[in-house]
Structure formats: C-alpha cells, structure tokens
C-alpha cells in the first residue's frame, strides 16, 4: 500500500524567512509529497502571510492545503478566502478551530472546527478535501478521552475526509487511538503528525502548550546534551525515524511532517525509513 507524506510550513514573518523557504520546499518537493500545508493564524497580518505562502507554493506547481479557522473573522471573510482558493485550483484545506485569539474570552468563543467544516460544505459542496486535527494524547481543553473522541466523530460526520494527529513520541498512543476511532465508527485515514527533534527548549515549550507528552527518557537524554546541538539532532533523528518506521509498519496511512520550515531534519528522517 502506498504511504503518502505531506509537509507543513508556517508562513514566514520576514523577507529573509520567505527567501529561505524556497530552497526548503524545492528540496522537499523532490520526495513527491501528496501536498504541502501552510498554517493559519487568526490575526490580520498572519492571515495575509498564509495566503502569500499558499499562492507562492501554488505558483511553483505544488499541491497546497491552506489551514483555515474562523478566529475573529466573519463568515463573509472566510467565504472570500474559499472563493480565492477555489479560483486558484486549490482543492484541499486543513479546517481547525485554531488557537483562540488571546484577547477573546475562551468561554465566549463560539466556533469549533466542526462549525467551519459545515460552513465549507454549505458554501463549496464537495470541492475541497477537508483535513482535520485529532489528538491521540487528548486535546488539552477536553474533559475526557471519550468527549474528545465524540467531537472528532462529529467532525467526520460534518464532512471531514481525513485527519492529521497532534505530534507524539509514543507509538502506542497512536495505535490505541486508531483502534478506539475504528470502534467508534470513525473510518477516515488518520495520519500521524511528526515533529522532528532539533532543539530541546523550543520542543519542551511547544509541547507543554499543545499537550504533547515528551517521554521522560527522551526529555532526560535531550537535557543531558546541553548545548551540543549535533548530538541533539543525531539522537532526535534516530528516535523519530524509529517512531516513523513503527507507525508505517503498524499500518499508518502516511506521515505528515511539522517541518518548522526546515528541510534537513525531515529529510534525515525520511532517509532512514525503509
Ligand atoms: P476542535 O476540533 O474544535 O476541538 C477543540 C476542543 O473543543 C477539543 O477539546 C474538542 O474535544 C472540543 N470540541 C470540539 N467540538 C466541540 C463542540 N461542538 N462542543 C464542545 N466541545 C467541542 N492552530 C492554529 O492556530 N493554526 C493552525 O494552522 C494550526 N494547525 C494545526 C494543524 C494540526 C495538524 C494540528 C494537530 C493542530 C493545529 N493547530 C493550529 C492547533 C489547533 O488549532 C489547536 O489544537 C486548537 O486548540 C484546536 O483546534 P481543533 O481544530 O482541533 O479544534
């Protein structure tokens, strides 16, 4: 069975970042990914940068999936974005609730990812293949595994075609989650999200914020490397490539890489896979 790979970027903040991204996507494109995705922040300038990056990849002839969330936008703004993407021949989206804008009260925030999926389906029918996020280690806002699973199932019922997981370093959490999804009647592909390990501090900070667990043995090993970046990268490539191999061997339909706009770490992992 063919295993698809996809690569995620965030929209660069600076001209330098934009220039740096070109050689990155050119190298990654040589691995024939199914698509590249570009993250979306609900704030104004971030949104514009997402569109810029999406259009650049699209002009380079690459399949691209913009991430999208309501954020503070009205329905008209989202509808305009959908029309632009459709006109450009884009046919895949990653639909999210997104991180709630800081100035909004969390309890007042009314949109979940499922509402966006329904909106997209109402406005554009079956034009877009809709990817959604899911959480083998449970979304941090969720009250329980069961409630998170229930809402994931609702996203599928409202029109999601496939899912990408939050990253994790424990393959059992993925396999257990996929089994639970199947038992609950969720039958869309669930692609593991893979975060290469290249930097200790940022990994810990990011993981604490998004609820991804770094196993103690990985944390301790990384901590012990201190400023020795080369050892961190070597160890990270080894750990993550073994994780990827186990996931693929165990039936994962593909891999989605959170590239952090770098090619080397992802390519090093891919090179180690059978
Ligand atoms: P939802 O599916 O809406 O779920 C959010 C929480 O609400 C969960 O706890 C869920 O159980 C619960 N819930 C869902 N539906 C309901 C309901 N109807 N009633 C009550 N509770 C409900 N963030 C960004 O800002 N930009 C990005 O581009 C981005 N890309 C991402 C890509 C991937 C693959 C992943 C895994 C995450 C990404 N994120 C991004 C982070 C994501 O936005 C956050 O994890 C966010 O907190 C949840 O988004 P979601 O779409 O999973 O939300």
Q: Which atom of ligand 1 is nearest to the CA of 95?
A: 51
Average pLDDT over residues 148-169: 98
- Measured from the CA of 40, which atom of ligand 1 is nearest? 28
* Percentage above 70 pLDDT, the chain: 96
In 3D space, the residue among 188, 263, 272 whose CA is nearest the CA of residue 36 turns out to be 263
Tens digits of residue pLDDT in 128-141: 999 999 999 999 99
Q: What pLDDT was estimated at residue 167?
A: 98
Average pLDDT of the chain is 94
Instruction: Tell me, in angstroms, the distance from the centre of ligand 1 to residue 271's CA.
Output: 31
Question: What local confidence, expressed as pLDDT, does residue 48 receive?
Answer: 86
Ligand 1 centroid to residue 97 C-alpha, Å: 5
Query: What residues line ligand 1, using a CB cutoff of 6 Å?
Result: 39-41, 67, 94, 96-99, 112-114, 133, 139, 141-142, 147-148, 151, 155, 164, 166, 193
Question: Would you say 145 and 132 are in contact if contact means Cβ atoms under 8 Å apart?
Answer: no
pLDDT digits (tens, 9 = 90+) for 56-115: 999 999 999 999 998 877 899 999 999 999 999 999 999 999 877 777 776 767 789 999
By most ligand atoms within 8 Å of CB, the mutation choice from 96, 143, 192, 209 for ligand 1 is 96
- Residue numbers annotated as active site: 8
Closest CA to 195 of 175, 170, 178, 162: 170
Residues 182 and 184: their CA atoms lie apart, in Å, by 5
Could you tell me the distance, in angstroms and rounded to a whole number, from the CA of residue 41 to the centre of ligand 1?
13
99 CA: nearest ligand 1 atom: 25
pLDDT digits (tens, 9 = 90+) for 227-271: 999 999 999 999 999 999 999 999 999 999 999 999 999 999 999
Determine the 3-state secondary structure of 133 from DSSP. strand
Q: Whose CA is nearest to atom 1 of ligand 1?
A: 113
Distance of CA 210 to the CA centre of its chain: 12
For residue 19, how many other CB atoms are within 10 A of its CB?
Answer: 10
Summarize pLDDT for 248-259 with one digit per residue, the tens: 999 999 999 999
Give the atom of ligand 1 at the shortest distance from the alpha carbon of 150.
Answer: 11
- CA dist 187 to 36, 103, 163, Å? 23, 37, 10
d(CA 145, CA 20): 40
What's the rounded mean pLDDT across residues 216-222? 96
């Amino acid at each position: 069975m063919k295993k698809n790979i996809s690569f995620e970027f965030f929209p660069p903040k600076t001209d330098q970042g934009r220039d740096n991204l070109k050689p990155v996507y050119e190298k990654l494109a040589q691995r024939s990914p199914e698509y590249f995705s570009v993250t979306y922040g609900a704030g104004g300038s971030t949104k514009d940068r997402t569109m810029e990056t999406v259009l650049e990849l699209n002009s380079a002839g690459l399949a691209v999936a913009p991430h999208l969330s309501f954020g503070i936008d009205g329905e008209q703004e989202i509808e305009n974005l959908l029309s632009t993407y459709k006109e450009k021949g884009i046919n895949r989206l990653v639909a999210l609730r997104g991180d709630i804008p800081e100035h909004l009260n969390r309890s007042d925030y009314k949109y979940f990812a499922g509402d966006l999926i329904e909106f997209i389906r109402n406005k554009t029918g079956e034009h877009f293949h809709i990817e959604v996020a899911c959480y083998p280690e449970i979304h941090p806002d969720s009250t329980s595994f069961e409630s998170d699973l229930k809402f994931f199932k609702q996203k599928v019922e409202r029109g999601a075609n496939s899912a990408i997981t939050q990253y994790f370093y424990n393959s059992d959490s993925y396999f257990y989650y996929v089994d639970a999804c199947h038992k609950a009647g969720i039958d869309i592909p669930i692609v593991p999200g893979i975060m290469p390990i290249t930097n200790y501090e940022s990994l810990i900070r990011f993981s604490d914020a998004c609820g991804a667990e770094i196993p103690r043995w990985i944390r301790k090993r990384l901590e012990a490397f201190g400023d020795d970046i080369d050892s961190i990268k070597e160890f990270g490539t080894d750990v993550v490539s073994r994780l990827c191999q186990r996931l693929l061997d165990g039936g994962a339909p593909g891999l989605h890489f959170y590239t952090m706009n770098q090619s080397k770490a992802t390519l090093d992992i891919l090179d180690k896979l059978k």
